[in-house]
Amino acid sequence: MTHQAKDGALRPLLVKGFRIYQGLLDRDAQRVLLHEVAAIQRKAPPFRPETPGGRRMSVSMTSAGRHGWFSDRHGYRYVSRHPSGVAWPPIPAPLIALWRRLAPDAPLPDSCLVNLYGKGARMGMHQDRDEADFDHPILSISLGDEALFRMGNVTRGGRTESIWLKSGDVVVIGGAARLAYHGVDRIRFASSSLIKGGGRVNLTLRVVGG
Ligand code: MD3
Ligand code: FE
């Protein structure tokens, strides 16, 4: 793993094909996004999806954009409406602007998944393969408490690498890394003062297609 200079917010750390822009978003930019997340939540309240195996995820979720991620006994998929029946709210403009900056060659995202981590929440190792086309990158933004993120390989098992994702970090996942197994082992609850009462928000922008 290589390390970046302190001044180089736009020089990404390269880990297994991921580009990690540490501290790309300053505190003001983080607060703007947190307000956008609050607005999304008012229209599309977060819920804890049930996995096909019948377990309730510890992470609460909601979405913005044409496609929102959903899961229940029938499987993982994208749906065009929140469980309440309302359409997902539009993807906030500052997120589209960030995508244009960091993924200028990709089509614009049509989905923004909002992951909300409370105390003890985690996300097991998985692949993201519910999208129509794995050629497009994924952009992830971390806000609030630090998270121990783990990445593995395109097949289950083998060597993994872990890194703490902090508030304001942005990760771009593309190329071979797009189908790598990854997860969040734990968060350091209340390690950040951005979110009152503690917690972590992760936003993932994707081109779902269809
Ligand atoms: C590596 N979210 O929503 S973001 C997810 O922090 C998800 O909430 C995590 O994994 C979170 O699916 C990790 C960084 C990330 C996002 C997508 C990836 C890493 C990825 C897709 C492929 C490989
Ligand atoms: Fe994922």
| Shortest-distance atom of ligand 1 to CA 126 | 10
| pLDDT value for 210 | 82
Give Cα 175 distance to the centre of its chain: 17
| pLDDT value for 78 | 98
Rounded to an integer, the average pLDDT of 115-133 is 96
Rounded to an integer, the average pLDDT of 5-25 is 76
Ordered alpha helix ranges (H), 44-164: 93-102
Pocket test for ligand 1, best of 15, 173, 186, 205 (most atoms within 8 A of CB): 173
What span, in angstroms and rounded, lies between the C-alpha atoms of 119 and 133?
Answer: 34
| pLDDT value for 12 | 82
Please list every protein residue whose CB sits less than 6 Å from any atom of ligand 1.
Answer: 113, 115, 123, 128, 138, 140, 147, 149, 151, 171, 173, 177-178, 180, 182, 184, 202, 204
Rounded to an integer, the average pLDDT of 147-156 is 94
Q: Going by CATH, does the domain composed of 3-206 fall within 2.60.120.590?
A: yes
Rounded to an integer, the average pLDDT of 5-20 is 69
User: Which pairs count as long-range contacts for 9-13, CB under 8 Å and 24+ apart, including other chains?
Assistant: 12/172
What span, in angstroms and rounded, lies between the C-alpha atoms of 204 and 138?
Answer: 7
Is 5 a residue whose pLDDT tops 60? no
| Shortest-distance atom of ligand 1 to CA 115 | 8
Answer for the pair 61, 49: CB distance below 8 angstroms, yes or no: yes
